[in-house]
Chain A
Amino acid sequence: MALLSLVHVDKRFGGVNALTDVGFQVEQDEILGLIGPNGAGKTTLLNCISGVFPLDGGSIHFAGQRISGLPPHRIARLGIGRTFQVVKPFLSMTVRENAAVGALFGASNLQPRLAFQAAEEVLELVGMAAKSGHAVGSLTIPDRKRLEVARALATKPRLLLLDEVMAGLNAVEVEEALDMVRTVHRSGVTIVLIEHVMKVVVGLCQRVVVLNFGQPLAAGTPEEVLRDERVIEAYLGEKYAARVRRAGG
């Protein structure tokens, strides 16, 4: 049975249909990529899964339980972790404290002393152990992104939603971040990630779902999807798609 399934999900903002009839499943232990042009509804979809936005139609199920309609903290406690595209650290706290807050709540729900131990473990996993005493304000962007992942991991999620963890990183940093995501995945966490960097999508994801104008456009392995003419058209326009078609013969 799928770990996460979305059934006919609709989300409107006023007259704008942000998501229309979105349905797909995420299997246990896979890394699923969610791609699509800007404004396609990727982040909106993550917000719907994590309960920040109520749905206007359809339903979302996690581990056999309907989660659409539950408040965000309940969904987090059921085992869905989440990072933000624009990182949201607790600025007034240290790195360790940030991760510990995740361990205090979420699915792990630990007492303070154990939460700090758990925090050290996840910081180790994402390669931030050496900086656990640092103030968040002194961290670089790549480190803040790692911390964002660490905090989400500290909640002990079965499913982790990563919203563009690679954006704004240089080539070396992307490689490091790729390693981090693989490590997290190996530790037994199913991952759904939004990504624009195609190298990341191809390098990490077993399966990709493409959104366009709030609707699923294509789904399959990264190689299949990136060859799909509709996908090229959505990203680069009709003319370019036609040129690719001619060149490809």
Chain B
Amino acid sequence: MTLLVQQLVLGLLIGGVYVAVGIGFSLVWGVLNIVNLAHGGLVIIGAYLTWLLFSAFKIDPFLSIPIVAAALFGIGYVLQRLLINRVIRAPIFFTLLLTFGVNLVIINVLLLLFKSDFRSVTPSYSGSGLSLGGVQLPYIRVAGLAVALLLAGAVALFLARSRVGGAIQAVGADRDAAQLVGVNLRHVYALTFGIGAACAGVAGGLISTAQAITPSAGEPYTLQAFVVVILGGLGRVSATVVGGLLFGVVETLAQTMVPGLGAGWANAIAFAILVVVLAVRPRGLMGRPV
């Protein structure tokens, strides 16, 4: 029983990372209609930046989150403004291809800069945690979930209350109409992608504290972001939160409580969830009807 509770709690905590990974992916997909295959690459840039700040300047990974988010916002903005905007009106296949290529470039640049060595961010408190009635709560995972929920709240509030948030929502709903009430499409596209990249950067920071990173370590996160968004439903931050947490729980329970399944099955479990959701409820748990 304790084991089940432990795995349930751990699943929720791990789900925090999936929430963080999913938010930016969902925003970019929902507003720009781009399935961003470079999302995992952006996540890993965030992880490497966190590692760099930690190893070179001894900055705590959780304190460096704003710096990493700002840097990734800049990268995302420029990427969209200079590159992806050129094909934004083209069929979705072109943006898939382009972001796939961008992802390859990111991985190879990281390989050149950092080699393929495993890097990890290990502040003094990594490895320790709280014990509550026999249930272990690793500090890093607890802080990760807290950061992810804060990020979700911040993005939701920003979209609902700010002028730019209004522009982003309007562009997501109908870009022609948005343009003709005076919204600068190219700027809003770039801002949206920048915000998505900033969220990916935050996720990367969280990931760097929880696992060893390599240039290609981001790839599973593109798939997982995809599954989280399908599971929760597109178009709402709250849906991504539910999708991310649920995905964390299902994945953890499947890996630990089902005999014969282990960590090696992570991708298989993700794909299984994807297929089941698409077959049974294609709009996801909380998505709008399609």
Residues of chain A having any CB pair with chain B under 8 Å = 50, 52, 71-73, 76-77, 81-82, 84, 88-93, 100-102, 104-107, 109, 111-112, 115, 151-152, 154-155
Chain B, 151-181, CB within 8 A of any chain A CB: 161-163, 166-167, 169-170, 172-174, 176-181
What is the minimal beta-carbon distance from A51 to any residue of chain B, in angstroms? 9
> Residue B58 at the A interface, CB < 8 A?
no
Are A111 and B163 neighbours in the complex by a CB distance under 8 Å? yes
14 A-B contacts (beta carbon < 8 Å): A73-B179, A73-B180, A88-B176, A91-B173, A92-B235, A92-B288, A105-B167, A105-B183, A106-B182, A107-B182, A109-B182, A112-B166, A151-B181, A155-B181
Assuming A73-B185, A112-B161, is B180 touching A89 (CB within 8 A)? no
Residue from the list A76, A101, A111, A155 in contact with B170, Cβ < 8 A: A101
> Residue B184 at the A interface, CB < 8 A?
yes
In the complex formed, the residue of B with least CB distance to A148 is B177
Residues of chain B having any CB pair with chain A under 8 Å = 161-163, 166-167, 169-170, 172-174, 176-185, 235, 288
Residue from the list B169, B172, B173, B181 in contact with A105, Cβ < 8 A: B181
In the complex formed, the residue of B with least CB distance to A88 is B177
What is the minimal beta-carbon distance from A101 to any residue of chain B, in angstroms? 5
Are A93 and B180 neighbours in the complex by a CB distance under 8 Å? no
List 13 additional contacts besides A89-B177, A105-B183, A151-B181; criterion CB under 8 Å: A72-B180, A73-B183, A76-B181, A76-B182, A82-B180, A88-B177, A92-B173, A92-B288, A93-B173, A101-B167, A104-B163, A105-B167, A155-B182
For the complex of A and B, the 10 pairs showing the least CB-CB separation, nearest first, are A105-B182, A90-B173, A76-B182, A88-B177, A106-B182, A102-B181, A73-B184, A101-B170, A77-B182, A72-B179
Chain A residues lying within 8 Å of B178, measured Cβ to Cβ, are 90, 101
Q: When chains A and B are docked, how far (Å) is the Cα of A102 from the Cα of B180?
A: 9
Q: When chains A and B are docked, how far (Å) is the Cα of A52 from the Cα of B235?
A: 27
Are A84 and B169 neighbours in the complex by a CB distance under 8 Å? no
Assuming A76-B181, A151-B181, is B176 touching A104 (CB within 8 A)? no
Q: When chains A and B are docked, how far (Å) is the Cα of A89 from the Cα of B170?
A: 9
What is the minimal beta-carbon distance from A16 to any residue of chain B, in angstroms? 21
Q: When chains A and B are docked, how far (Å) is the Cα of A31 from the Cα of B111?
A: 65
In the complex formed, the residue of B with least CB distance to A113 is B161
Are A90 and B170 neighbours in the complex by a CB distance under 8 Å? yes
What is the minimal beta-carbon distance from A145 to any residue of chain B, in angstroms? 13
Chain A residues lying within 8 Å of B176, measured Cβ to Cβ, are 52, 84, 88
Chain B residues lying within 8 Å of A115, measured Cβ to Cβ, are 166
Residue from the list B161, B180, B288 in contact with A76, Cβ < 8 A: B180
In the complex formed, the residue of B with least CB distance to A87 is B177
Residue from B161, B162, B166, B181 with most neighbouring chain A CB atoms (10 Å): B181
What is the minimal beta-carbon distance from B29 to any residue of chain A, in angstroms? 14
Q: When chains A and B are docked, how far (Å) is the Cα of A71 from the Cα of B170?
A: 18
What is the minimal beta-carbon distance from A141 to any residue of chain B, in angstroms? 16
Chain A residues lying within 8 Å of B173, measured Cβ to Cβ, are 89-93
Are B180 and A101 neighbours in the complex by a CB distance under 8 Å? no
